[in-house]
Structure 1
Amino acid sequence: MTTLRSGQGGFTLVELVLVIALAGVVAVMISTVLSRPLQGFVDQSQRAELTDQAATALNRMARDIRGAVPNSVRESPNGLDFVSVHEVGRYEESADGRLPACDATPTPTCHIKVLTEMDAGRVSESRWLVIYNVGAESGGEPVEQRNLWHPSNPGVVTPPNASFEWDKATQQLMVKNADFFRFSFSSPQRRLFLAKEVVRYRCESGEFLRETFDTLDLKSRTSSVLLADAVSHCAFTYQPGTHTRNALVTLRLSLSKGGETISLIQQVHVDNAP
């Protein structure tokens, strides 16, 4: 038999079992103490992610609304529609205070003298010219000759087939393919707005979407971008302006994920002076 040298030793099986048991008790105690703070950190991170997603989406929507053609914002099913300004300018008023008509002779072209410099590229990209859109409604429906959502002749928005060019030499905006068209009114501030697309924000099946259209009847969609998912509730309301205040858009958006729900509300004042 081999004898142990003096000073040598080791763990017995009983000691090893006791150490394992004590280590297990300590681990359980630590996990119990730390689980609540750790879970709180995870929940807070989840809420921060949802808040950031919702705030980014609402800020994008608010920025677009501020750039809408005056009096073009309207409520739609599960969302909000408006025509986005692409280029803007001021025109020179004629002697009778009205804009020139698009006569058929000698060429079906409107020549509008503009007092501000315009970007030729943005002008040519535009689809509509809007002047003094008062956004009148009757029984919730747009009124002919007073609302761009009801195109007419005379009206406040050019026909859908019209095209535009900027003549820098003469400082004139030329409107083509708008035969015999006349604007209903002249703008008191002589403002004109060129627009390229209709924008719709809406919620559907838990998704918050930004869509664009190249027709006023919203039948031809050109893009659809997902701004937020996990949408549990959204509501967009529009209150037209009065003599004492601007129009007001109220945006409400709620997101839910992983047992966490956040709700944001944002209001946007809209200057509808046409």
Structure 2
Amino acid sequence: MLYQLRNAGFTLVELIIVIVLLSIMSIATFSYLGFGAQIFSDVVGRDQLISQSRFAVERLTRELRNSLPGSARVINNNRCLELLPIHASSSYLELPQPGQTNADFVAVPPDNYSQGVNYEGTYLFVYANSEQRIYNSTTQRKVISGVTEQDSTLIFDYNTTPTLFPLQSPAQRYFISTGPVSWCLEATGEIAGQQQLVRITGYPLANSPDLAHGDAQRAVMASDLYNNIEGGQLPFFTIAATLQRANLVEIDLRFARRQGAEPFIIHHEVHIPNVP
């Protein structure tokens, strides 16, 4: 018996139908995977944005609480917050004042003092509890030129004119600061309206600070900010201390993702202890 052999296979229509079905399944699968990847990317992005904002606000809060009373002020067209961090502090025993001759500034060493520490070039403050007395006057601050140890006390030398302090501190306290620090909102120049929070150090103490000074050091503390300063969304606001309350600083930072999308606001208040 003779058998006729026939080649088994698929027709062109069958192949087209299979290809179309596989294409539909592939599109659905990749769309599902892409949607999941997008969700993961959004969650990670939001978490990073929130983490960096919390870090920046916590860092700024700690610096404000350790700043010289009355030193927090808003500068640079409401874009910057300037302060003087406290490097050391303690009580004094003798304060050179008008009517005294050859009087020394005799003080109790700070808690963090160690023998041979160099305070040269730092700022010495006594009862400088206002912006005028801190930034625009040398009567309540001096530039330390040397320190002498004598009988468990410190004698501070300085060459600032005038050499006398016109006012006593009610608590007989003195403060030492290494120099000013500014936190500023600056445009990134990449996306319209996008800003970053920058910490600036290493510039001289002055009534009108030079934040672009050649020795100034800048560090980006947070990005993706969209404060509309011209529209009244000021990042910093200060209220001077009174007898009833401490110095108050209000922080209003507005973060967002993808050019203003998914915005969230951090509004925070910091009370600075007023112990001049």
Band of TM-score, shorter chain: 0.7 to 0.9
State which of 114, 118, 133 in structure 1 corresponds to 2:108: 114
State which of 263, 266, 271 in structure 2 corresponds to 1:264: 266
- CA distance in 1 between partners of 2:137 and 2:273 (Å): 22
Amino acid at match of 2:130: G
- CA distance in 2 between partners of 1:201 and 1:192 (Å): 25
Q: Deviations over 1:110-162 (max 9, x none)?
A: 341326552356552552100112317xxxxx3xxxx212214xx2111x5x4
The answer to whether the aligner puts 1:203 opposite 2:185 as a matched pair is: yes
- Give the equivalent residue in structure 2 for 1:215: 205
SS at match of 1:197: coil
- Give the equivalent residue in structure 1 for 2:253: 253
- Give the equivalent residue in structure 1 for 2:49: 50
Q: Deviations over 1:210-254 (max 9, x none)?
A: 112232342345322222233211611112233333222111222
SS at match of 1:19: helix
- CA distance in 2 between partners of 1:258 and 1:180 (Å): 55
Amino acid at match of 2:273: D
- CA distance in 1 between partners of 2:175 and 2:199 (Å): 22
- CA distance in 2 between partners of 1:204 and 1:103 (Å): 49
SS at match of 1:85: coil
Q: How far 1:169 sits from its partner (Å)? A: 4.8
Please report the TM-score for the alignment, with normalisation by the length of structure 1: 0.77
- Give matches, 1:1-274, under 5 Å: 10-33=9-32, 35-77=34-76, 78-92=79-93, 94=94, 99-101=95-97, 110-114=104-108, 116-117=110-111, 118-120=113-115, 123-135=118-130, 142=132, 147-152=133-138, 155-158=139-142, 160=143, 162-167=144-149, 169-178=151-160, 180-205=162-187, 206-212=195-201, 213-217=203-207, 218-219=209-210, 220=213, 221-233=215-227, 235-259=235-259, 260=261, 261-274=263-276
Q: Deviations over 1:160-214 (max 9, x none)?
A: 5x41324165422322323551112222222111111111111121232111223
Q: How far 1:85 sits from its partner (Å)? A: 0.9
In structure 2, relative to structure 1, the CA distance for the partners of 1:35 and 1:170 (3 Å cut) is closer
In structure 2, relative to structure 1, the CA distance for the partners of 1:122 and 1:266 (3 Å cut) is farther
User: Is the CA contact 1:102–1:110 (under 8 Å) kept in the aligned structure 2?
Assistant: no
In structure 2, relative to structure 1, the CA distance for the partners of 1:127 and 1:83 (3 Å cut) is same
User: Is the CA contact 2:124–2:174 (under 8 Å) kept in the aligned structure 1?
Assistant: yes
- CA distance in 2 between partners of 1:245 and 1:89 (Å): 22
SS at match of 1:244: coil
Q: How far 1:269 sits from its partner (Å)? A: 1.4
User: Is the CA contact 1:47–1:262 (under 8 Å) kept in the aligned structure 2?
Assistant: no
SS at match of 2:268: strand
User: Is the CA contact 1:120–1:166 (under 8 Å) kept in the aligned structure 2?
Assistant: no
User: Is the CA contact 2:122–2:177 (under 8 Å) kept in the aligned structure 1?
Assistant: yes
Q: How far 1:30 sits from its partner (Å)? A: 3.6
In structure 2, relative to structure 1, the CA distance for the partners of 1:121 and 1:267 (3 Å cut) is farther
User: Is the CA contact 1:80–1:202 (under 8 Å) kept in the aligned structure 2?
Assistant: yes
Of structures 1 and 2, the one with the larger relative CO (CA 8 A, separation 6+) is 1
Q: How far 1:83 sits from its partner (Å)? A: 1.2
Please report the TM-score for the alignment, with normalisation by the length of structure 2: 0.76
Q: CA RMSD in A?
A: 3.1
Amino acid at match of 2:175: F
- Give the equivalent residue in structure 2 for 1:139: none
- CA distance in 2 between partners of 1:23 and 1:55 (Å): 48
Q: How far 1:68 sits from its partner (Å)? A: 0.6
- CA distance in 2 between partners of 1:121 and 1:262 (Å): 49
Q: How many corresponding residue pairs?
A: 250
Q: Deviations over 1:61-112 (max 9, x none)?
A: 11111111111111112111111111111122x4xxxx12599987xx8341
In structure 2, relative to structure 1, the CA distance for the partners of 1:27 and 1:184 (3 Å cut) is same
User: Is the CA contact 1:208–1:228 (under 8 Å) kept in the aligned structure 2?
Assistant: yes
In structure 2, relative to structure 1, the CA distance for the partners of 1:19 and 1:38 (3 Å cut) is same
Identity %: 24
